[in-house]
Amino acid sequence: MVLEGNRGRRPINRLEPKPRQFRQKPPEYLDAAAQKEWARLVPILKRMRVLTEADYIALANLCQATSTLAKAQDQLNKAGLLLKTKSGYVQQSPLLAIVNGSTEIVLKHLREFGLTPSSRSRLQISSDQREEPDELLNGNWGT
């Protein structure tokens, strides 16, 4: 069971559902960059023991948002932060809104999976999920 502390001092749910381990392929609708991110993140999240079959859509959303962010940032880098309208006014590129929105979505999902330093520091793994050091050294991560 992975927990994020007990700040509210409410009783811990000992009957929390325990989905099976994650053994899913990425959804077909993910673009190539999102599928590459999926392939990068799945081993990391498995080693962290935070990935289950229930996380399929959340992980897909994280990967696709990461791809959208990268594409929008690449276009923004090429086009620049400002553009001139037909009437001659200078305005902020609409790409900046896409970059900012995608960044927020990515950060939200990163926190959910414990993939930022602060969110990771709040995660706790129960003693029944901790690996013996020999198992970790031998690459035996429950895959």
pLDDT tens digits, one per residue of 76-127: 999 999 999 999 999 999 999 999 999 999 999 999 999 999 988 887 765 5
Q: Compare 15 and 67 and report the one with higher pLDDT.
A: 67
Taking the C-alpha atoms of residue 33 and residue 36, their distance in angstroms, rounded to an integer, is 5
The residue type found at 129 is: Q
Q: Which residues contact 8 (CB under 8 A, 6 or more apart)?
A: none
The predicted structure's pLDDT at residue 4: 55
Domain boundaries, the chain: 19-137
22 pLDDT higher than 80: no
What is the pTM assigned to this prediction? Answer: 0.73
Say which DSSP state 84 is in: E
Q: What is the CA radius of gyration of the chain?
A: 20
